[in-house]
């Protein structure tokens, strides 16, 4: 089970860009869960909703606050979702489980001006493949892609004529999403000026290549986003490629896009997942009211 926990933490680091402190906290929470399983002689594959109350009692004796309990619950639920996706368990046991009610934490977002600055920092730098890096970053923001979707893009997936791209999301679900004019221009520069230099024998047609001719890694994209944020004067701790996906959705809703359309573009299976972005909008409106209205 330790190997599975390590794999899950690697996923959180690479795919979600969580900070080292958050990863250490999740590791402590999952270690606590391992201790619970050992004390009850339960195999992790057999943990079910019937064991839930026992675990909550075990947890409440060792966690001092609602927030720390909720974090442990979140770590455990995320871990079991990971196990389910990886085929390690046949059923996800926590569909009806909820945490203690606390204030919802909103995802970090950045505005278009910050994204423009990040891209300009890349293009004006001495990076060896600035058009590759800039086009990857712009595509994450312009199309709202997950980093795992971006690294899986192959050349036949792109339609420059209509500016659409086919991606494979969670659960192997395919969707077709539009991308913007600036992404098109950066991609064309990359494909004309840099990609031919990266192609090696046996190359399998991936869009974004590393120096060895293979598909660019999620780790390198996470490092790229963090570097571009820092160069733009933005605190990068705990932020990664998913920041641009959050920002994509927020910009669409700010512009008046329907929530169902945003759900479809993001590839969310449930509208409830997309609704977090409406909370961002409400939070921004409250702040504007507090700041500018004389009766606030």
Active site residue 146: yes
Active site residue 170: yes
Residues 8, 26, 206, 277: which is the catalytic one? 277
Residues 170, 173, 188, 285: which is the catalytic one? 170
Residues 63, 218, 226, 242: which is the catalytic one? 242
Residues 63, 146, 195, 239: which is the catalytic one? 146
Q: How far apart, in whole angstroms, are the C-alpha atoms of residue 150 and residue 166?
A: 10
Residues 16, 127, 166, 268: which is the catalytic one? 268
Active site residue 295: no
Residues 71, 226, 245, 246: which is the catalytic one? 245
The structure tokens listed for 215 are 């598909």
Active site residue 242: yes
Active site residue 277: yes
* Catalytic site positions: 146, 170, 242, 245, 268, 277
């Amino acid at each position: 089970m330790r190997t599975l926990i390590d794999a899950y933490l690697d996923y959180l680091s690479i795919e979600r860009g969580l900070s080292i402190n958050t990863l250490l906290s999740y590791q402590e929470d999952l270690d606590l869960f391992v201790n619970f399983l050992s004390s009850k002689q339960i195999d992790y594959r057999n943990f079910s909703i019937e064991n839930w109350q026992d675990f909550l009692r075990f947890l409440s004796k060792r966690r001092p606050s609602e927030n720390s309990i909720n974090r442990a619950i979140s770590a455990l639920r995320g871990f079991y979702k990971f196990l389910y996706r990886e085929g390690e368990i046949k059923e996800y046991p926590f569909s009806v489980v909820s945490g203690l009610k606390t204030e919802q934490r909103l995802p970090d977002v950045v505005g278009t001006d910050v994204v423009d600055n990040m891209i300009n920092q890349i293009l004006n730098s001495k990076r060896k493949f600035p058009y590759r890096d800039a086009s990857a970053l712009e595509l994450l923001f312009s199309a709202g892609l997950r980093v795992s979707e971006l690294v899986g893009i192959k050349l036949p997936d792109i339609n420059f004529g209509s500016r659409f791209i086919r991606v494979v999301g969670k659960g192997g679900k395919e969707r077709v999403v539009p991308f913007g004019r600036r992404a098109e221009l950066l991609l064309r520069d990359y494909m004309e000026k840099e990609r031919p230099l990266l192609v090696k024998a046996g190359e399998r047609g991936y869009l974004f290549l590393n120096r060895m001719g293979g598909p660019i890694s999620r780790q390198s994209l996470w490092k790229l986003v963090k570097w571009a944020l820092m160069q733009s004067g933005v605190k990068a701790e705990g932020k990664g490629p998913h920041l641009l996906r959050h920002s994509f959705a927020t910009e669409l809703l700010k512009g008046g896009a329907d929530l169902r359309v945003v759900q479809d573009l993001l590839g969310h299976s449930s509208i409830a997942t997309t609704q977090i972005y409406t909370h961002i909008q409400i939070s921004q409106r409250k702040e504007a009211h507090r700041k500018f209205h004389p009766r606030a």
